Structure 1
């Protein structure tokens, strides 16, 4: 029973999340021969101010980049 946890910054559409779930499940079926009926994929969305890279939050990086 595989369990995959995907963490992304907030803002993905419902369709994008559906594609991530389907694609991840398909990959586990192809590579590891896992049963898709017992494969779990969970997507956690993190606010950009709660996700840091390079010593600053993604929100701050976006502000500094002018976006």
Structure 2
């Protein structure tokens, strides 16, 4: 059930560690407000914690930070 996401590719997409943590935390909080009791499922049907889902979405390019 627990999946580890390598942070280097995620950080390369966002720009730096601080911004990566900020974007992932904001997305994970949003997922928890929608449904705080169940695990999320990815496209393959595997269950993951919402923080892992947030990092996967960033690495896949579904979520990106706002740029000035």
Place the TM-score, normalised by the shorter chain, in its bin.
Answer: 0.3 to 0.5
Larger radius of gyration, structure 1 or 2? 1
Relative to total residues, which structure has the larger helix share, 1 or 2? 2
TM-score normalised by length of structure 1:
0.39
Structure in which a larger fraction of residues adopt strand = 1
